[in-house]
Structure 1
Amino acid sequence: MSQTASEMNAKVLIVEDEMLVACEVEAVLGDLGHQVVGIAPDLDTAMELAAQPIDLALVDLNLRDGLTGPEIGMRLCELGNVAVLFVTANPRILGEGIAGAIGVLTKPTDEASVKAAVDYALRVKAGDRTVRPPQGLRLFRRAA
């Protein structure tokens, strides 16, 4: 029987420079039983926080230090054990996506969409191939 995201108690990194948005996402993740390992407003902070075990990263594109979200997502994917979901108002910047990342959720979003996207990402990371992507989450092409 596959676990739901709330049963997984994941460690999540939030990469977001708008503190109100980051705190709202942190509250949603807490409601799901996940542990937020930190909130990173820029590339340097994200990479520092990525030194600890992380299951999932929610990454905005435009941060305090500019358009560094795509690079952060790429670096996190290269770690090999982090599921990456982008959450941005500018999804077109990502084009066809970042290799290894799951997909993108377009802002503004609501609590239910964030919960569904997090659940989906964690289930995919755990190897569940039966899970269907939630509405509003645009998946990136997977390498065959």
Structure 2
Amino acid sequence: MTARILIIEDEALVAMELRFVLEDLGHEVVGVAATSKSARDMARETDVDLALVDIHLSDGPTGIGLGRELGQDMGVTVLFMTANPGMVREGVAGTIGVLSKPTDERAVQTAIDYALRRRQGEPVQYAPPGLQLFG
């Protein structure tokens, strides 16, 4: 199952590495955004299935509100990817969960597969290792 994915990450090397991983897995990366405004604009202008959202962006710790907005208002499936998973420990409405950074290609792949199966309404019993689910 391939998806159109938006990477929301302010560290260029992390974003580039993530893009390579996603494209190797057969997904289409529709854009990379370093701020909440550019991410919001991209999400409005393109058809996005899944957003990988860091919490701390170039414009501050805006990822939490952005993730909520993408998930609740725009119908995007949202996974947080952050070195600060404690910031979303209580969960964020409209989002699935958080993957702690640093992570590896396998953890990214299994988390994305899980999120896309949930998006399609397929039954999923267990979260993959490394993915902390909300709610």
TM-score band, normalised by shorter chain: over 0.9
Which of these residues, 10, 16, 28, is aligned with residue 9 of structure 2?
16
Residue 42 (structure 2) pairs with residue 59 (structure 1): no
Residue 119 (structure 2) pairs with residue 125 (structure 1): yes
Secondary structure of 1:115's match? helix
After TM superposition, what 4+ stretches of structure 1 lie above 6 angstroms from structure 2?
Answer: none
AA paired with 1:55? D
The alpha carbon displacement at 1:100 in A equals: 1.5
Aligned to 1:42: 35
Secondary structure of 2:124's match? coil
Over the residues paired in the alignment, what is the CA RMSD in angstroms? 1.0
The alpha carbon displacement at 1:131 in A equals: 4.5
Deviation by residue 1:94-122 (Cα, 9 ceiling, x = unmatched): 13111110000001101111111111100
The alpha carbon displacement at 1:46 in A equals: 0.4
Unpaired runs of at least 5, structure 1: 1-7
Give the TM-score of the pair, scaled to structure 2.
0.95
Cα distance in 1 for partners of 2:131, 2:41 equals 28
Cα distance 1:131–1:23, how it changes in 2: closer, same or farther (>3 A)?
farther
Unpaired runs of at least 5, structure 2: none
The alpha carbon displacement at 1:133 in A equals: 1.1
The alpha carbon displacement at 1:78 in A equals: 1.8
Cα distance in 2 for partners of 1:132, 1:82 equals 21
Aligned to 1:69: 63
Give the TM-score of the pair, scaled to structure 1.
0.90
AA paired with 1:28? V
Aligned to 1:136: 130
Secondary structure of 1:78's match? helix
Aligned to 1:91: 85
Aligned to 1:4: none
Contact 2:99 2:130 in 1 (8 A): yes
The alpha carbon displacement at 1:32 in A equals: 1.1
Cα distance in 2 for partners of 1:58, 1:110 equals 14
The alpha carbon displacement at 1:132 in A equals: 2.3
AA paired with 2:34? P
